[in-house]
Structure 1
Amino acid sequence: MKFYYSNINSNDLDWLQIFLYGTIVIIGIDISITIYEVLFGDITSAIGIIAVFVVFLIVYLAYKGISQTKVLLPEFLLKKEDVIHEQSTEESRLISHQTKITHDPEELDILFKRLEIIIREQKCYLTPELSLKSVSEKLNISDKKLSYLLNQHMNVSFYDYVNQFRVEEVKKKIMNPSFSKYTLLAIALECGFNSKTSFNRTFQRFEKITPSKFRTQVLKSKSNYDLTEL
């Protein structure tokens, strides 16, 4: 996910935990019925209710799994078959050319500068739904090539690359008096984060301090500066 998306919600993969628990429940019901029948005899009267519950659980798990498929697969694997067919010829023609220039340091440096311009000047990171594919389209290159630039040349995931700009933007707004009335969550949402949990976790990982403590330090230093001026 970090290779393709700039935001990761903790709920996106919760269905795996639900699937695990659901599977355990289904197996537990089956084992319980078997043990009951061995010890006490047939329980045909309750089978119908149990079967309905199990079928409902299976359908629910299937729905959750299908609805989260996009999270687990790269976007190019989720395109419709006709789109893949239309692009396959063009991609085949370009692949040898891209392979030759992928490792060209000079071209990668140029591409890096173009990427920095798009991200910094156009502030694409403020878009919560920003993805590797959308940025590669802005650069007019393939997502594979952009992925190589980030992962191999810059040694950073797309997720970390984008979120470092978001964190810096949050810090600027926290230090800006115009945003003194804003909550931290409001500032985070304006800077491209899409959840409080993701924001707190990412900010602390980059700055080694929680957003609230950072804001407290900023306010304290500003207060000390004002007293000094007096």
Structure 2
Amino acid sequence: MNQSIKLDCRGLKCPQPVLQTKDALEQMAAGEIEVLVDNDASRSNVERFAKSRGCSSSVTEQDGLYRITIRKSGDSRPADDAGDASRYTCEPVRRELVYVVPSDTMGQGNDELGRVLMRAYIKTMKDISPLPAKILFFNSGVMITANESDLIEPLQDLAAKGVEIFSCGTCLDFLGLKDKLLVGKTTNMYEIMQSMAGADKVVSPF
């Protein structure tokens, strides 16, 4: 006879959601477990654990709550590398955050003020968590990566931390800066569009 178990794991620290799921799976020969969690890391770990135990799962999300439905059949078998449930620590799932910088000024209005704001914007990036995966400079934004200024060092620091920095090659060429790039690499519109389309979130200072 198939069993049905519901687990409310909201607010629980890892690996508790996985451990409760493990206990529930061990109680049943076959059936369905519904696990409710309130963060993406727990959702990911519970799903991975269910898969490691040979179970299928599906997820629905609403208002930041994840409802994971795990189905165990009579012939479900753990994977060879299933391991101990306690190893599923809930480290945050890395999301790809992409910053786009299409100008050397921030916002619209007074250009002098816009450059002051952009300097503060660039210098503050290193203090934001999570760091972006990529920063894309295009149009007059490439003037930031191809001109000597006190913004080069903070951008180099970001690059040292694994942030990829790209400047539009067409833009550099148009502005006569093709051979003056001081940080990061050149890119093209196809790669810019691919990066933006594949990002979980795109942030612009406009």
Q: Shorter-chain TM-score: which interval? A: under 0.3
Larger helix proportion of the pair? 1
Higher relative CO (Cα under 8 Å, sequence separation at least 6) belongs to 1
Bigger radius of gyration, 1 or 2? 1
Larger strand proportion of the pair? 2
TM-score, normalised by the number of residues in structure 1: 0.26
